[in-house]
Amino acid sequence: MTTPVLSVRDLVVEIPTRRGVLRPVDRVSFDIAAGEILGVVGESGAGKSMTGNAVIGLLDPPARIARGEVLLSGQPIQNIGREALRRLRGKRMGMIFQDPLTSLNPLLTVGEQLTETILEHMPVGNAEARRRAIAALEEVGIPAAAARIDSYPHEFSGGMRQRVVIALALCAEPDLVIADEPTTALDVSVQAQIVALLKRLCRERGVAVMLVTHDMGVIAEAADRVAVMYAGRLAEIGPVREVLTAARHPYTAGLMASTPLAGHGRRRLRQIPGAMPRLGALPPGCAFHPRCDRAEARCRQDPTPRVEDCGGRAACWFPLAAPADRQEAGA
Amino acid sequence: MSTLVSVRGLTRVFDVSKPWLNRVLERQPKALLTAVSDVSFEVAENSVYALVGESGSGKSTIGKIVVGLLRPSGGQVEIAGVDLATETDGARTASMRAEVQMIFQDPYASLNPRWRVRDIVNEPVRARGGETAGLAERLLEQVGLAAEDADRFPHEFSGGQRQRICIARALASGPRLIVCDEPTSALDVSVQAQVLNLMSDLREDLGLTYLFISHDLTVVQHMADTIGVLYLGRLVEEAPRDRLFEAPKHPYTRMLFDAAPRMDGFGREIDPPKGEIPDPINPPSGCAFHPRCPLATERCKRERPEMRTLGATRVACHLAE
């Protein structure tokens, strides 16, 4: 098997506070292969953005990687220093943020921002950088790119701005792109355009994409595999179709049952009682046990299991059974 | 079923011009944004009427006009026969205001952080000099919180619990109509389910009517009896829920349904919709959707389509049949 583009091993992110150390990411492991989209879902505060920021080295102090490894094409990058990381970001790893207006510099034209990134990371001259910038804008579907390259971000609409951000993330031809809620601020019709664009670029360029979102529909349509996070831990990870249609972890199952489904009319939604615990007040044992109807003594006493500890794709001592007619795939 | 809300020819224009001096110096005309343009619909008593649309479709503006937070530029809104904008009898408007309440999108911004929950929930009744003893405690229990929560402050609650407080406040004055503007958009899925279930229960128990504003098609399909689809301030289609989802007539409605991500759409390759919502200050001529419409003809560019009735559907499209 080839080395995955991104490999995260037992990643722990800690934030020291006056009231003790918080762990927004706790022993998380996953791989992303070239040309693969890994969806990361979870509710707010589940640690999905924090995981993305830890991978790309953009944790805000005092948050820091306390343990574990982040391997980019097999090379550890979790503590190589700021300068080395800066050279990797943009060149080997690109990032797409939620809000396209705040992730572009309003005082520079789109072309200046693109050529700056290209000149920084590629051995080319000014004219060639500009040519590549126009090509990058064309590739993400901006009409009349040669004319619009000298426009400022505010002259673009929300969807077009997000395309510029994607062009910016991809212009130095990275191996890995982390997209943090890339469509959340956009309307449905524009969201569909951006999702289609991400899928096409991933397929054509063989980029590995970590797609962080809370929208299960986007995950279902875009991702190859999905990782479900809860309270900083990985609850379940596997091929998207299996996880979404035959969840093993009770939390994933609850999440699916509480989502209104098209075509189901006004059936009563199943609800998960309570809310996700705050990081400072995690229950002992499995973080999900107070909301879980399958919880037993072991769930309350033993530390939260990792996926690897449970021999399946769910981090649960008592996972839901696989449907008899379904062969477990990819676990 | 009787009609509770009747909206006729509703239009709202905002003046978004630059200041007078800039206009004179730069020789620019006034810029007028038509947020709502000639919208008519009726909401039956004890039903859920949903308005869906993308940003800039005018759905929130309609909600604000219905509760009386904005005045219409043209047309009328009558609630149980009373037009809040023109009614001169103070007693009638006062009693009508008590019967129309609103739930907002952001439960963090819509609760005063310095007030105790009891004062927040009692406010709509106290402001009219009503009796509030025990009211907050009873309402909090009705929305699934505890009576003791009345003494706490909003920051002590999670997003879902805050939205329950907002619902309790909206119920305090005994309303018949609640306008819900994206009530669950700020909530996580599992919490959204709790709030939607609560709203459904309350509707049945108290005989409420909801005007439900949302951009989320799955939520709308779950909640609504009748759905109105808005595009650029115009009502383009209206139909009972099942009929709308089974047989959408307007090309925009179809585009919206195709574009929405589906939970069972594994690896679905869609041909994404073309273009974006046009500038509302200079909307396209004729049918506002014609530049993005795959079916558009010459007539669509010239002539704004009238609302036509096709069975149970009302649709504003020259070509729908």
Using DSSP's 3-state secondary structure scheme, residue A286 falls into: coil
Which residues, including other chains, have CB under 8 Å from residue B47's CB and lie 6 or more apart? Answer: B1, B209, B210, B225, B226
Placement of tokens 């943090």 in the chain: A180
Find the domain containing B314 and state its range. 252-260+274-321
Distance CA A105, CA A92 (A): 22
* Per-residue pLDDT tens digits for A100-134: 778 889 999 999 999 999 998 888 899 999 999 99
Q: Who's near A131: CB < 8 A, 6+ residues apart? A: none
The per-residue pLDDT for A264 is: 61
Domain coordinates in residue numbering, chain A = 6-223
Q: How far apart are CA A275 and CA A283, in angstroms?
A: 12
Position A325 pLDDT exceeds 50: no
Clarify whether residues B218 and B256 are in a common domain.
no
Task: Tell whether the model's pLDDT for residue A222 goes beyond 50.
Answer: yes
Whole-number average pLDDT of chain B? 89
Is residue B75 within 8 Å of B34, Cβ to Cβ? Answer: no
Structural Rg of chain B based on CA atoms: 21
In 3D space, the residue among B198, B151, B180, B150 whose CA is nearest the CA of residue A273 turns out to be: B198
User: Alpha-carbon distance A213 to A223, whole Å?
Assistant: 11
By C-alpha distance, which of A100, A222, A85 is closest to A168?
Answer: A100
Q: What is the CATH number of the domain that holds B44?
A: 3.40.50.300
Q: How far apart are CA B44 and CA B226, in angstroms?
A: 9
Pairing mode of beta strands B209-214, B177-181: parallel
- Position B4 scores a pLDDT of 92
Encode burial over A162-172: b for 16+ CB neighbours within 10 A, e otherwise: bbbbbbbbbbb
**Could you tell me if residue B283 is inside a domain?**
yes
Contacts of B161 in chain A (CB under 8 A): 275
Cβ atoms A136, A171 nearer than 8 A: yes
Angstrom distances, CA of residue A174 to CA of A69, A70, A87, A202, B195: 20, 16, 12, 11, 42
Flag whether B269 is in a domain: no
Does residue B52 lie within any of the structural domains?
yes
Q: Which residue on chain A is closest to B201 by alpha carbon? A: A268
- Asked if B261 lies within 8 A of A220 by C-beta distance, the reply is yes
What's the pLDDT at A330?
A: 37
Residue A272's CB: how many other CB atoms inside 10 A? Answer: 24
pLDDT tens by residue, A138-168: 888 888 888 889 999 888 887 888 889 989 9
User: In Å, how far is B257's CA from the nearest CA of chain A?
Assistant: 9
**Facing residues of A40 across strands?**
A212, A227
CA distance B80 to chain A (A): 27
Strands (E), B71-142: 74-79, 82-83, 100-103
Angle at A231 between CA A225 and CA A235, to 5 degrees: 35
* Distance between CA atoms of residues B83 and A217, nearest Å: 41
Does any domain span residue B265? no
Task: State pLDDT tens for residues A51-73.
Answer: 999 998 888 888 899 999 999 98
Neighboring chain A residues of B191 at a CB cutoff of 8 Å? 43, 275
Q: Which two tokens stand for residue A106?
A: 């309003």
B160 contacts chain A (CB < 8 A): yes
- Does residue B106 have a pLDDT over 90? no
Residue A183: the pLDDT is 84
Are the C-beta atoms of residues B150 and B117 closer than 8 Å to each other?
Answer: yes
Cα separation, A289 vs A212, whole angstroms: 25
Answer yes or no: do B45 and B171 share one domain: yes
Instruction: Please tell me whether residues B282 and B168 are part of one structural domain.
Output: no
- Asked if A190 and B270 come within 8 Å (Cβ–Cβ), the reply is no
CB contact, 8 Å: B272 with chain A? yes
Number of domains chain B contains: 2
| Inside any domain, residue B149 | yes
Q: Is the dihedral of CA B179, B184, B185, B186 positive or negative?
A: positive
Kindly state whether residue B246 falls inside one of the protein's structural domains.
Answer: no
What distances in angstroms separate CA B98 from CA A262, A277, B81, B165, one per listed residue? Answer: 35, 37, 15, 18
Residue of A nearest to B292 (CA): A189
User: Do B179 and B96 belong to one domain?
Assistant: yes
pLDDT band at A263 (very low <50, low <70, confident <90, very high): low
Residues 6+ apart with CB under 8 A from B188: A43, A44, A214, A276, B159, B160
Tokens of B44: 């039956």
Q: Do B272 and A196 touch (CB under 8 A)?
A: yes
pLDDT at A265: 58
- Is the per-residue pLDDT at B320 higher than 70? yes
CATH no. for A6-223:
3.40.50.300
| pLDDT confidence of residue B228 | 96
Using a CB-CB cut-off of 8 Å, the residues of chain B touching A266 are 200, 222-223
- pLDDT value at residue B238: 95
How many helices (DSSP H) and strands (DSSP E) are in chain B?
11, 12
Q: Does the pLDDT of residue B306 top 50, yes or no?
A: yes
ipTM for this model: 0.79
CB contact under 8 A, B54 and A188: yes
Tokens of B206: 């108290």
**Are B83 and B189 in a shared domain?**
yes
Q: Which of B251, B247, B176, B236 is nearest to B207 (CA)?
A: B176
Of B242, B255, B263, Cβ closest to residue A189: B255
Angstrom distance (rounded) from CA B210 to CA B239: 16
Asked, for residue B238, whether it belongs to a domain, the answer is no
Q: What is the pLDDT of residues B182-232, one digit of tens each?
A: 988 888 888 888 889 999 999 999 999 999 999 888 899 989 999 999 999
Query: B282 with B227, same domain?
Result: no
Please say if the pLDDT value at position A326 is more than 60.
no
What does the pLDDT average to over A234-241?
Answer: 92
- Do the domain assignments include residue B171? yes
Residues B188, B224 within the same domain? yes
* Residue A272: closest C-alpha in chain B: B190
